[in-house]
Amino acid sequence: MNSSRYAFVVAVGVALSTLLLVGGLVTELASSVIEFSLFLGIPAGLVGAALAGFVSYRHLRSPESTTARRIAESVAGFGYAVVALAGVRYAVPPTRPLLGFGVVLAVAALVSLALAACPLLESSR
């Protein structure tokens, strides 16, 4: 795969994960103080996502960072898994009772751990 295309795909995943984490965290922390805390959480998540995506894209274009690449792939996998499961939950109504918030987070965390462990398993062969 092209190095810049790979870096872009991973950087978008990192930005997505950052958007979900920062936006959710700021919204939850501000909910006791501000009634419409979502209006504070969304912009904070977008700013964090833009920064994380830009930094990870710039860093992933250099080929010498294998550990950082592995971490970025794992973080990106979390964001893509959450979005994919949310899409399944939306598009397939019978899955809505099964794919609650906790299940989505658990599956996304397992995807992230699997992506982190794949290079370790390949190197042990």
Q: What's the confidence (pLDDT) of residue 6?
A: 87
| pTM (predicted TM-score) | 0.86
pLDDT at 62: 76
Angle between the 3-30 and 66-91 helix axes, to the nearest 10 degrees? 60
Considering only CA atoms, which of 77, 68, 66 is closest in space to residue 123? 66
**Which of the residues in the chain have pLDDT under 50?**
none
**3-state SS, residue 17:** helix
CA atoms of 91 and 85, how far apart (whole Å):
10
Alpha-carbon dihedral sign for residues 7, 9, 14, 19: positive
